[in-house]
Structure 1
Amino acid sequence: MSERVPVLIVGAGLSGLSTAVFLGLHGTRSLVVERHASTSSHPKARGQQQHTMEALRLAGLEAEFTAASPKSRGFLLRIAESASGPVFREILHDTFLPMGHLTPASAADASQANAERILLARARELGAEVRFGTTLESFEQDDAGVRAVLADAGGNRIVQADYLVAADGHRSPIREQLGIGTHGRGTLGHSIHWLVRADLSHVVGDRQVMYYLQNPRLSGGTGVLASTDRADEFVVGVGFDPRREGLADFTEQRRLEQIRLATGVPDLQVEILQANTTEIGMRVADRFSDGRVYLVGDAAHTMPPQGGMGGNTAVMDGFYLAWKLDAVLRGEAGPGLLDSHDAERRPVGELIAENQYRNALVRNLPDRAVEGDAPIEDPALLMFGYRHNGAVVREPGDAGELLEDPTRPTGRPGSRAPHVVLTTPTGEVSTIDLFGRGFVLLTGSAQWARTAERVATELGVRLRPQLIGGETTGDWTGPYGVREDGAVLVRPDRFIAWRSPGPGTAADLEKALRTVLDR
């Protein structure tokens, strides 16, 4: 039995389902296969930071993620001996960091289990087919596409796909078959995590909490305690050395002792619901693509959890890859556009993974930190300050820096389009909400708007002019680095592709689009 799909996605975690959602948003069908019987039932990674919520907002999911966030008075992030104290350092207290000056989106705190559930439903709404209990047995690729052998309870079947997305986790059999190595800091340690039910209301109140624990009495000297979606359930983790011990060595008495040490409640009554082990490390794939295969999520980069960017980066991998796959499949772009997946996402993956590693040292293993290991403390810089230097028209004098201060936007190609509030007859909107489907040409010039319509028709490219002036007003020219009679070409992923500081010609715009789209 054989079938054909435009995109085959292996793995129905955060990165795989996000890729399917954003492909569907652009109008491209995908098939997602997952070896497990369902999406994750474990809380795992939680929290969607504002840059991720911008993408989810474009997909119509902002309200659902907000609703799936636990209702509490706030959020605490602390380095401490135990949840009861003493506290060595408080990183966040009672609220997410305010980002209203940079984005119209607010952070959410949905668990990975809820996030995957929401993404699965939306992917199916947008035309994706998702099959659980299905494994990728083998695949081969050539210039015409990818031939994959899938196995499920009914036997084997052949799928022909134009492209394959590897969202198959940190061990990634796809990555290994392609012979793609990894680099990075390697293994940082191992931990045992228990999902426990206990009443800690007298310790944490009704807040969501994340405690990174430093306590020599804990196994490995380190630990973590984190809230889940239920007020009476928590994840408690401690370090261990797999060369000397395993789950079986943590007897009932030892488990209870470690959990009570982590909570700081000596007589705590605990019910242990689940137990598992995990390796904590930092590795990045040597390349994020090979022929017609593209790596996303943990297949592309694994990192310690400290900093909360792992799951967010997985979602954003799918967001940034989907529009490129769609453009090539539609014939709007040449295959070279997809080369930018590695060029753009690998430097960002390396940056974020390295920063998470440094956070892990500071929060759990300060004795292992050396000079120069300080993490980037400004979350806005990691969320909104990274630049993409692939499918853009670089300007003279641009050295291709990976980061720029998002509070002082330059409007340079490769940078995120700044958030500017515009006033319209129906109310205020953010420039961010103008993007997400096709290219947008921001301009205050009616001539540029007419030029964009003509070039879009001639090239067969989804390009919409957005005229700012008349009934739609706002102080947008400074942040975007142009005059009123200039123009800024914004990609579907809200990154700036090209700009003209003042008047220009149809040939200028056409050349820019051809460059970005490999036409």
Structure 2
Amino acid sequence: MRAQVAVVGGGPVGMLVAAELAAYGVDTVLLESRADVSERPKATTLHARAVQCLARRGHLPAPAAPYAGPGARGARTGSPFHFAGLPGLFITAPETEPEPILKCPQARLERQFEERAREAGARILREHRVTGVVQDEEADGVRITAEGPQGPVVYDVRYVVGADGARSTVRERAGIASDTHPATISALMGAVRLAEPDALAPGWHRTPRGWIVAKGDAEGMTHIRTLNCAGAHADRHLPPTQEELRREVSWIAGREIAMGEARWLGRFSDFSRLARTFREGRVFLVGDAAHVHFPIGGQGLSTGVLDALNLAWKLALAVRGEAGPQLLGTYDAERRPVARRVIENTRAQLALMRPGPELDALRGVFSGLLAQEGAQGHLGGLISAQDTVLPAVLPARSGRSCPSAGTFLHNAVLTTSTGETDVIRLLQGGRPLLLLLGEKGAGHREEARDWDGILRVVRARPTPDVPYEALLVRPDGYIAWAPGGADLADALSVYFAGGARTACR
């Protein structure tokens, strides 16, 4: 069987890749070993940049319109969060963007993305376990072998996206090496029914022995996570028992905490992995297949979502023959540094969480920093990925750089010939956007004629919320070009095929 792209792994990240590719008209097949969506409680947090990018692709609602005034550069009060379990952090976003933190169970997102993938025409094959991934240089493709309910299945595809988790078969079969940090702590999780409901209050509890995080649910269960910094578990792949969780919680709390019914027991650690490349030929890695870190700060799901949204439009253009010569190479260059920063900041947070009086002073310093507005800006941007600036795409030999390229274009009200709209709504069609503002902006129109089949060109009135005369905006919301650097045609020829000029002419 054949397809243009195979996605291996049907968690929320893999389903999002499939939904995006299919929406672009790419013949996409997704292979997932599970028969259905797992109800096991996992991630529940989407941070601001992931929320903003999902809104631009129509997966989440845009802010209600209309809204008035030049307030796009203002900020909300913010959503309260934490850093290393310390309260006081606020995640903010411009007032025209969606709320900066979205709480949504991972299973719900997975179902939503799967529904959109199927509606767009993607083939979703559940109970298909991938066993082989072989790139064929002569055929310019990849052969995927899998075991399905009816026996072996073989797919010949042009590209493969590995979204198959921390123990990725795609990563292993593609021969992609990783840099790792071994586990140094042990942690347990589970949903339990406490014998005394008030025995463990909701929230973060730090003791001289470690941490307990507790949260109640609508069924009267208490979801618990523990952190024991005494060392890694002797065999962290063994499934935990209810008795082990009870003993661990009681030991950390320093008192007996009795438990009844228990569900969703699991263990985790601070083992981290960063693939040395997110691309090997025609094979790409996204989400946990590319990077794994200690789950503090709720950054894992958001990082995987941003991987998917960064890769999908580029891969779709490549399949359609509309990608510029450097476009696919930008995926690894843009996403690996972000994943490395996530691993580093989670390791820093864990260092602050380790018990011991020698760290009390350091925790006190960070608590003071969190109380200061400046620290909120840095740490909030770090956790929410809103401080991400993408590396330059235009080659240095062009001699000119655009200071705005690689930054994110926040939402703003725009007045066009058909009425008021905004950045989010203009990007929901998935096409790169050439925004021309006023008469000066209109002067750039002729430079883009050769790319009319790829771009969405929109003319709007000048506005102080978008202080440019023209902008080239990627489908994920990042600025690809603005006046002041290379010519527009040079930028277009790097990103997209079909132009009469090249960036290195």
Q: Which category of TM-score, normalised to the shorter sequence, fits these structures? A: 0.7 to 0.9
Deviates more, 1:311-320 or 1:116-125: 116-125
2:132 corresponds to which of 132, 135, 138: 138
Q: TM-score, normalised by structure 2?
A: 0.80
2:19 to 18, 21, 27: 21
Q: What residue in structure 2 maps to residue 272 of structure 1?
A: 262
State the partner residue of 2:489. 510
Alignment partner, residue 341 of structure 1: 331
How far apart, in 1, do the equivalents of 2:421 and 2:190 lie?
44
- Residue 385 of structure 2 aligns to a residue whose secondary structure is helix
Q: Distance in 2 between matches of 1:379 and 1:131?
A: 39
| Amino acid corresponding to residue 147 of structure 1 in structure 2 | R
- Structure 1 residues 412 and 360, CA gap change in structure 2 (3 angstroms): same
- State the AA in 1 paired with 2:321: G
Residues 14 and 341 of structure 1: is their aligned pair in 2 closer, same or farther, counting only changes over 3 Å?
A: same
1:247-270 C-alpha deviation (Å, 9 max, x unpaired): 688673x53343456679856553
- CA–CA distance in structure 1, aligned partners of residues 128 and 245 of structure 2: 35
Distance (Å, rounded) in 1 between the aligned partners of 2:448 and 2:196: 59
CA-CA distance at 1:390 after TM superposition? 5.3
Displacement of 1:149: 1.0
Q: How does 1:120-519 map to 2 (within 5 A)?
A: 120-143=114-137, 144-198=140-194, 211=204, 213-217=205-209, 221-226=210-215, 232-239=221-228, 241-243=232-234, 252=243, 255-259=245-249, 269-334=259-324, 336-364=326-354, 378-381=379-382, 382-389=384-391, 391-392=393-394, 412-422=404-414, 429-436=421-428, 437-446=430-439, 448-449=441-442, 452=445, 458-459=450-451, 461-469=453-461, 474-478=463-467, 482=468, 486-501=469-484, 508-517=487-496
TM-fit CA distance, 1:210: 5.4
Alignment equivalent of 1:47, drawn from 42, 45, 54 = 45
What secondary structure is seen at the aligned counterpart in 2 of 1:378? helix
Whole-angstrom distance in 1 between the partners of 2:320 and 2:449: 15
CA deviations on 1:311-359 (whole Å, 9 max, x unpaired) are 1001110000000001111111145311111111111111122112211
The residue type paired with residue 122 of structure 1 is R
Gapped runs of 5+ residues in structure 2?
A: 63-78, 370-374, 499-505
Deviation at 1:513, TM superposition (A): 0.6
Structure 2: how far apart are the matches of 1:224 and 1:126? 40
Q: Is the alpha carbon distance of 1:202 and 1:450 closer, same or farther for their aligned partners in structure 2, counting shifts above 3 Å? A: farther
Match of 1:405 in 2: none
CA distance in 1 between counterparts of 2:239 and 2:474 reads 52
Question: Which amino acid counterpart does residue 43 of structure 2 have in structure 1?
Answer: A
Q: Alpha-carbon deviation of 1:203?
A: 7.9
**1:181 corresponds to which letter in structure 2?**
A
Counterpart residue identity of residue 495, structure 1:
Y
Residue 187 of structure 1 and its aligned partner are, at CA, apart by: 2.5
When residues 128 and 446 of structure 1 are mapped into structure 2, their CA distance, relative to the original with a 3 A threshold, is: farther
Deviation for aligned residue 1:134? 0.5
Structure 1 residues 380 and 168: CA distance shift in structure 2, 3 A: same
* Per-residue deviation, 1:279: 3.4
Moved more, 509-518 or 227-236: 227-236
Q: Mark the CA change 1:120 to 1:326 in structure 2 (over 3 Å): closer, same or farther.
A: same
Correspondence 1:103 to 2:86? no
- Measured in 1, the distance between the counterparts of 2:11 and 2:51 equals 17
* Displacement after TM superposition at 1:190 (Å): 2.9
Partner of 1:16: helix, strand, or coil?
helix
* 3-state DSSP of counterpart to 1:15: helix
Change (3 A) 1:494 1:79: closer
Aligned residues: 466
- Please tell me whether the aligned partners of residues 279 and 332 of structure 2 are also in contact (alpha carbons under 8 angstroms): yes
Q: Do the aligned partners of 1:7 and 1:30 also contact (CA within 8 Å) in 2?
A: yes
Per the TM alignment, residue 156 of structure 1 is displaced from its structure 2 partner at its CA by 0.8
Q: Distance in 2 between matches of 1:498 and 1:329?
A: 23
Cα distance in structure 2, aligned partners of 1:368 and 1:6: 56
Q: Percent identity?
A: 28
Does the 8 A contact of 2:431 with 2:475 survive in 1?
A: yes
Deviation at 1:198, TM superposition (A): 4.2
Cα RMSD (Å): 3.9
The residue type equivalent to 1:385 in the other structure is D
**CA offsets 1:107-143 (integer angstroms, 9 cap, x no match):** 2101222221222222222222211111111121124
